[in-house]
Structure 1
Amino acid sequence: MSIRRAIANAGIDDFRVHDFRHTCASRLVQNSFNLKETAHVLGHSNIGTTMRYAHLEQTQVAEKMKAVIDRFND
């Protein structure tokens, strides 16, 4: 079964196959890939392109920043 047919059979009408790239980039970043690594996986030569795809979780950013501050305070 094609992915397009599966999407149609699921009743999803606002999804494009290209949306998988956004999800992939976001999941990579959320799982500790940095933007350069994510760009490599997606085949981007320009990190700016990757930044449009990779949506950073604000909670993760805050937790990482807290960890940096905590290391300074130790």
Structure 2
Amino acid sequence: MRQDNQDILVCLLHLGARITEAHNLKCSDINFELNTILVRRLKRGNDCLLQMTNSLRAIMERRHLTRINNKVFPTKHDDGRTNTGWMKDVVKRSGVSLDGGKIPSHTFRHSCATRLLRSGMDITMVQKFLGHKEISSTMVYLHTLPSEVASRAAAVFDGDLMQGDCMKHQVGKPKTLAR
């Protein structure tokens, strides 16, 4: 059971999937030859064909070999309900403090989007990855990133920029001045 939980958490994080999308994955959605997985986005119907990461592929190969039916994550519920009560236990075992509130499964989707943006992925690419129809849905993740303006302002106050250099300065590559 713990392995199932770990597998689904990797899916949530590596696919940016909602919990129901992960639970609805079918073995027929996986193409091992092309190393792709079809995620059927439920909220707006924007299905995404995504490349599998090495970790995700290993999970899918293992689950494919031990499958019971066409579902990657078979559930005990026949009515389509998704049980997420196990997540509380996982969080508790991990030692993460819940003083700030609960950690819902959607947190992994947010973590995925934030990680992609922080790595430098263009916001329109993240939009397509998450299956958002509107860019405004994806823009909510930008608040977690330091703005270019803030980075440039810090560079000015750190003495890395002189007057007139702001337009030439690139974020992340502070200009070294001869002194």
The TM tier, using the shorter chain, reads 0.5 to 0.7
Structure with more of its chain in helix, by fraction: 1
Deviations 1:23-68 (A, max 9, x none): 111111111111100011111111111112343422x62458x8x8
* Contact 1:25-1:53 at 8 Å conserved across structures: yes
Structure 1 residue 51 and structure 2 residue 139: aligned? yes
Consecutive unaligned residues in structure 2, runs of 5 or more = 10-86, 156-165, 170-179
Which runs of 4 or more aligned residues in structure 1 lie more than 4 Å from their structure 2 counterparts after TM superposition? Answer: none
C-alpha deviation, 1:22, in angstroms: 1.0
SS in 2 for 1:70: coil
SS in 1 for 2:105: coil
Structure with more of its chain in strand, by fraction: 2
> Structure with the greater relative contact order (CA < 8 A, sep ≥ 6): 1 or 2?
1
Normalization by structure 1: what TM-score? 0.68
Aligned to 2:148: 61
Normalization by structure 2: what TM-score? 0.32
SS in 1 for 2:132: coil
Q: Which of 108, 114, 118 pairs up with 1:30? A: 118
* Number of positions where the alignment pairs a residue of Structure 1 with one of Structure 2: 70
Consecutive unaligned residues in structure 1, runs of 5 or more = none
Structure number with bigger Rg: 2
Q: Which of 5, 20, 23 pairs up with 2:108? A: 20
